[in-house]
Amino acid sequence: MKPGIHPEYKEVIITCACGAVYKTRSTRTENFTVEICANCHPFYTGKERITESKGRVERFRRRYKEKEA
């Protein structure tokens, strides 16, 4: 590794909108907030919403078929 070319890592606190707080190291110099994290993201919490594409496509076709007529 070349000396003097790598950024300095400092300890920062990341705060999520849900209230979760993470202490980590970053090249950012200030603490910052994020809108979503692994604590509240639907994929990780198991509350992921699965939609059926067939129903959505049919609804789209019906909606725009009415407007054309």
- What CA–CA distance (Å, rounded) separates 44 from 23? 20
Q: Is the pLDDT of residue 12 over 70?
A: yes
pLDDT of residue 55: 75
Architecture in CATH of 10-68? Irregular (4.10)
Kindly report whether the global pTM for this prediction surpasses the value 0.85: no
Distances (CA, A) of 57 to 51, 64, 67, 69: 11, 11, 16, 19
**Average pLDDT of 17-21?**
89
- What CA–CA distance (Å, rounded) separates 55 from 36? 29
- What CA–CA distance (Å, rounded) separates 33 from 14? 5
List, for residues 23-58, the tens digit of each pLDDT value.
999 998 899 988 888 788 766 666 666 655 667 778
